[in-house]
Amino acid sequence: MADKAILFDATRCTACRGCQVACKQWNTNDEVIPQQQDGVKEVNTGSYENPADLSPQTWIKTTFREIERNGKVRFLFNRRSCMHCTDAACVKVCPNHSVYHNEDGAVSYDKDTCTGCGYCVACPFDVPRFTKNGLTGVFTKMDKCTLCTTPGLNRIAEGMEPACVKSCPTDALLFGDRDELVKLGRKRVDDLKVKGFTNAYFYGDKELGGLHVMYVLDEAPEVYGLPKDPKVPPAAIAWQDVIQPMGWAVGGLTLVGLGLNYIVAREAKITRELPGKKEE
């Protein structure tokens, strides 16, 4: 099956935030006013941007940035959610494979088996968010955008587009085969460059093996708050590529060594005891 993806065109987004609300509605998130415990403060902090951060109940949010260059103000809108990376750090580090790539290329997760261990903070985009058990203070489950493939709420399997895309009035969000959207995105960025947006950038084409949420930007990615050249962090690689094999190797060698010792030592003990040496 061809990989699916979302194409976000920042030049078309009006920050109406329909996507932010549609996501919550479809995924039944925040149906009551969220409390501060989830990191969501229901106050205006001097910005249109609220909630202040992603949360277990906020999987996508619109971001607002104001920049001023040569006396000209720009008001830049971006979309923050899971990027559904091909080289996904979260998938790499998830100890029990609760986070996985589904057949569409989206990074989905099995909430039943998620232990909330938090290793997926390895995400270079700082996306996974965790619910805390109010009583014990222990983080219980990770949550994030699944590209609307959450079991039971799977729009994609039903032939629909993700809720955020459905809500977008200006087609700033498109959903479809990744290959097609890559072509479209590249073309749009080329057009932007022709129009004089020399820093225009197509984000997600190559990053982390290709993202499944791609961005047509008329400025450099950093200006839109996206990390330039994101990487799976070394600690995540160390965990997956060093610690896991090392654990098996050391554990295995120890057991084998002890087993060998037992056989050899038992033999030696018997031999030594033959002359009738007294047991202590």
Partner 1 sequence: MAYQEVEKYSKPVRVLHWFNTASFLLLFITGLILFIPPLAIAAQDSWTRLIHRIAAVLLVAAPVIFALIYPGKAARALKEAFTWGSGDLDWLKAAPAYYFLADESAMPPQGHMNTGQKMWWFLTVVFGVVFVATGAVMWFARDTIAPTGFLWAIFTHDVAFIVTGAMLFVHLYLSVAHPLMRPLRTGSWSAMTRGTVSAEYARAHHARWFEEITAATHAQAAAANREKVLVGSHGGKTG
Partner 2 sequence: MTNHWNDIANADCILAMGGNPAENHPASFRWIMAAKDKGAKLISVDPRFTRTSAKADIYAPMRSGTDIAFLNGMIKYVLDDIEKNPQNYNMTYITEYTNASYLINPDYKGPIELDGLFSGYAGGLNEADASKRNYNKATWQPQRDEKGIPKQDKTLKDPNCAFQLLKKHVARYTPEKVNAICGTPVDVFLEVCKTYAATGKPGKAGTIMYAMGTTQHTVGAQNIRAYGILQMLLANIGVTGGGINAMRGESNVQGSTDFALLYHILPGYLKMIEDSDHTLEKYLERITPKSTDPLSLNWWSNTPKYVVSLLKAWYGGAATKDNEFGFNYLPKNEVGKNYSHIALFEAMEKGVIKGLLVWGQNPAVGGPNSNQERSAMDKLDWMVVADMWQTETANFWKRPGVNPASIQTEVFLLPARSSYEKEGSVTNSGRWMQWRYKCADAPGEAEDDLFMMTAIVRKLKELYSKEGGPNAEAITRLTWDYGSGHPDVRAVAKEINGYDLTTGKLMDTFANLKADGTTTSGCWIFCASYVEPDKEPNAPIPGNRASLRDSTPDKFNVGLFPKWSWCWPVNRRIIYNRASVDLNGVPWDKEHPVIWWQDGKWVGDVPDGAQPPMAVDPKATKLPFIMKPDGTASLFGPGMAEGPLPEHYEPWESPIQNLVSKQQVNPAVRIWRPQEHGEPDRFPIAASTYRITEHWQSGQMTRNCPWLVQAMPEPFVEMSEELAAEKGIKNGEKVIVESARGQVRMVAVVTKRFKPFQMNGKIVHQVGLIWHWGYIGLSTGDSGNLLTPHVGDANTHIPEYKAFLVDVRKA
The binder of 2, among partner 2, partner 1, none, by C-beta within 5 to 8 A per type, is none
Q: Please, what is the Cα angle at 70 between 64 and 71, to 5 degrees?
A: 70
The binder of 198, among partner 2, partner 1, none, by C-beta within 5 to 8 A per type, is none
Tokens of 158: 């039903």
Q: How deeply is 194 buried, as exposed, middle or buried, from its count of CB atoms within 10 A (0-12, 13-18, 19+)? A: exposed
Residue list 9-28, contact with partner 2 (CB under 8 A): 11-12, 14-18, 20-21, 24-25
Tokens of 37: 């415990």
Instruction: Compute the least distance from the CB of residue 33 to partner 2, in Å.
Output: 5
**32 sits near partner 2 (criterion: CB under 8 A):** yes
- CA distance linking residue 154 with residue 203, whole number of Å: 26
Contacts 24+ apart (CB under 8 A), 185-193: 185/7, 185/9, 185/214, 185/215, 185/216, 188/9, 188/11, 188/216, 189/216, 189/217, 192/11, 192/216, 192/218
- 46 vs 275, beta carbon nearer partner 2: 46
- 67 vs 255, beta carbon nearer partner 2: 67
Listed ranges 6-14, 113-121, 138-146, 261-269: which one lies at the site for partner 2 (CB under 8 A): 6-14
The site that binds partner 2 (CB under 8 A) totals a number of residues, namely: 37
Q: Which positions touch partner 2 (CB under 8 A)?
A: 11-12, 14-18, 20-21, 24-25, 30-34, 40, 42-48, 50-51, 66-68, 73-77, 169-171
